Every structure is written in C-alpha cells, then in structure tokens.
Amino acid sequence: MSPLNNSSEESSGDSYFHEASIISAFAFLVVLAVLIIFTNGSVIYFVIKKQYLKTPTNIILASLAASDVLAGALAIPLIIACNFKYSVCLAMDLTSRFIAYSTVLHLLIGTLDRYVMIVHAMKYRCWVTKKRARRALAFIWVFSASITLIQLSWINILSPNNPSPSTLTKDLIYGLVCFAVIVVLSLALMAFALCRIFVVLRRQILKIRKQKRSVERSCRTREKRIQWKAVVIFATMLLAFMICWFVYFLDGIRNDLQIDFPQKPLWAEIVLLFLRFTSALVNPLLYTYIKKDFKRAMNLPFLRFDQDDRIQSSGCAQNNITAGSCL
C-alpha cells in the first residue's frame, strides 16, 4: 500500500484538511496499536500463567496472539514511519505480509484442531498433543518468515521503489502463487472443515435430544454447546481475516500487474488501513469474551461463572473423562 501522504492529489485549499486527516489517522493508529498489544499480550499472559489454559487449542490461540502483537508493535509503527521515510516502506510491506501469512496459517491449524476434536472425537487426544501443536506452530513461524523474506533475493534493497521489469515479473508470480496456495487454499480448507463440523455437530445434537436420561442429555448438550461456540469463534475469525486482508492482497497483485485504477480518496485509504489490522484486535476479543476458560481466567464480574454452572460443568467433565482414550 502506498503511504497516505501520496494517496491522493490535494489542492492547496484542501491541504490543511488533508494534513489534519493524516495526523488524526496516525493518532487513531497509535491507539489501535496499544489496544492490539494489550489484548493479545493479555491472552499470552493468561496462557502462560494459568495451568488449565495450557491446552493444544489455547497454545494455538496464544501463538496467534503473538503474531497479532507484531501488528501493533511493528506493522503499525512502520506504516506511520513509511509516510515520513521511504526507506522503511519495504520493511513495512514485509512485516504486513508475514503477519497475513502467519494469521491465515494459524487460523487453518486452529480450525483443523476443532475439526479433529468434533469429527474424530475418540482420536483427538491421540492425534492432537501439546508437543505436536508446538511443532506445527514452530513450522508456521519459520515458514511464514521464510516465504516472506524470500522476496529479498530479487528485490533491490537499495532502490525498492524503482523495480526493474524482471523484478515486477517475479513479484507478480510470487504474489499470485502465495495468494493462491497460502491464502485461497487455506481459506478453502477452512471453509470445508467448518461446513463439515457444523453438519456433524447438528447431527450429534439431534441424536442427544433423543436420549432418555435427562442428566446425560443435559451434560452432552452443554458439551456440544461449548464446541459450537468454539467453532463459531473460528468461523468469525476466518470471516474477519477475509474482510480485513483481501483488499491488501488484491491491491498488491494489481500493483504488480501495473493496472491503472482511479486513485482512491484519502478516506478510503484510511478505512482500508484500519480494516487491515482490525482482525488483530477482533481475534483476542472473540475468544476471551466467548471461550469459558478465558472468561474464567479474566475473572471479570460481568463474565464470572455462576457457581452452579461450574459444578455442573465439572460433573459433566467427569462423566466424559474416559472419552478419547488412546489404544
């Protein structure tokens, strides 16, 4: 994305409004960055400090939170700096790409975790372990960094804003391949997994309603309701990613193709800029205010569990403790 200072041609009469708009946008970006760092940092803190949060699913969410922290700690400051010093624009673009690739891959592994838990429930504890989750997350970080930094092999670091025709061709191939393989393919896999999960959950809930024992039916209904909430969280995060990042990728491909489009007005550039990093704030808010274990960790008065609800939940957990044993 081009710096905001170059987003549109302003007449001398509108220069004051243009400058004031940019300064206001930067101020709100700083606020957004602080909120992103605080919310995601809180998620990481809770997962580290609370033993009951150290599940494979929450480890994945903590890793996603660490990736989102980079949006507030690196990407947004670099975007602001890019408007004053062009030499940091390359670092800004590389950071944004890394965050985008890391985010979509984290969402993919989180969705697959839910898929195995619900569709292959009896094998979940065998297939999904903390050790395997950490290995998968390490791969995501290394892969995202490698696939981002590989651009430096053909970009002229000394003059990144004046690419040669061969550099533009390589950028175009790189952008199309990464968008198709990493983004579109991951989103397609997640969409398939989520559709399959919703079908299986609905079938299981209908089967539970036919059970005669009221206690068992109540416990299993509660369990499925929790699983349903978790799936809705990942589906919402997937939707947020698509809304927030798709324009960024499409703009990059359009620039590589050198297609001339009407210059976007300043307000549109600002909206799209905020939209790109909204997912980094939406993600932690979703699972901290919806997932029961995070609500318990936060221990806020308006999120606190009812004591009877906790007792019933623990009783249901004891009834299901033998499920998913490895043989």
- pLDDT tens-digit profile of 291-323? 778 878 777 544 444 443 443 444 454 444 334
The CB density around residue 278, as the number of other CB atoms within 10 Å, is 17
* Per-residue pLDDT, 326: 58
What residues contact 306, with CB distance under 8 A and at least 6 apart? none
Q: Where are the strands (E) in 145-280, listed by range?
A: none
**Residue 287 binned pLDDT confidence (cut-offs 50, 70, 90):** confident
Residue type, 73: A
* Per-residue pLDDT, 296: 80
- pLDDT tens-digit profile of 184-203? 999 999 999 989 988 888 88
SS (H, E, C) 214-253: HHHHHHHHHHHHHHHHHHHHHHHHHHHHHHHHHHHHHHHH
Burial 45-54 (b: 16+ CB within 10 A, else e): ebbeeeeebe
In the chain, % of residues over pLDDT 90: 38
Own/partner long-range contacts of 170-176 (Cβ < 8 Å, ≥24 apart) = 171/256, 172/253, 172/256, 172/257, 174/150, 175/249, 175/252, 175/253, 175/256, 176/253
- pLDDT tens-digit profile of 200-234? 888 877 776 666 555 555 666 666 666 777 777 77
Residue 265 clears pLDDT 60, i.e. is over it: yes
What residues contact 193, with CB distance under 8 A and at least 6 apart? 111, 112, 114, 115
More confident residue, 259 or 131: 131
Residue 173 clears pLDDT 90, i.e. is over it: yes
Angle at alpha carbon of residue 65, lines to 283 and 147, rounded to 5°: 105
Name which of 234, 266, 264, 238 is nearest 250 in CA terms.
Answer: 264
Q: Where are the strands (E) in 66-136, listed by range?
A: none
* Per-residue pLDDT, 165: 84
* Per-residue pLDDT, 226: 66
Specify the range with the lowest mean pLDDT, choosing from 43-52, 68-77, 120-129, 313-322: 313-322
For residues 230 and 156, the answer to whether their CB atoms sit within 8 Å is no
Instruction: Kindly report whether the global pTM for this prediction surpasses the value 0.95.
Output: no
Expressed in angstroms, the distance from the first to the final Cα of the chain is 53
- pLDDT tens-digit profile of 9-60? 444 545 666 677 788 888 999 999 999 999 999 999 999 999 988 999 999 9
* Per-residue pLDDT, 217: 56
Range of 116-125, 162-171, 283-292 with top mean pLDDT: 116-125
Burial 92-113 (b: 16+ CB within 10 A, else e): bbbbbbbbbbbbbbbbbbbbbb
Residue 113 CA, chain-centre distance (Å), reads 15
Average pLDDT of span 173-192:
93
CATH topology of domain 18-295: Rhopdopsin 7-helix transmembrane proteins (1.20.1070)
More confident residue, 286 or 56: 56
* Per-residue pLDDT, 87: 80
| Mean per-residue pLDDT of the chain | 81
More confident residue, 225 or 147: 147
Range of 3-12, 129-138, 213-222 with top mean pLDDT: 129-138
* Per-residue pLDDT, 222: 64
Rounded to an integer, what distance in angstroms lies between the CA atom of residue 181 and that of residue 119?
25
| Domain-wise residue ranges, the chain | 18-295
Greatest alpha-carbon pair distance for the chain in Å reads 77
Which residue in the block uniquely carries the two structure tokens 């053909």? 154
Rounded to an integer, what distance in angstroms lies between the CA atom of residue 189 and that of residue 4?
35
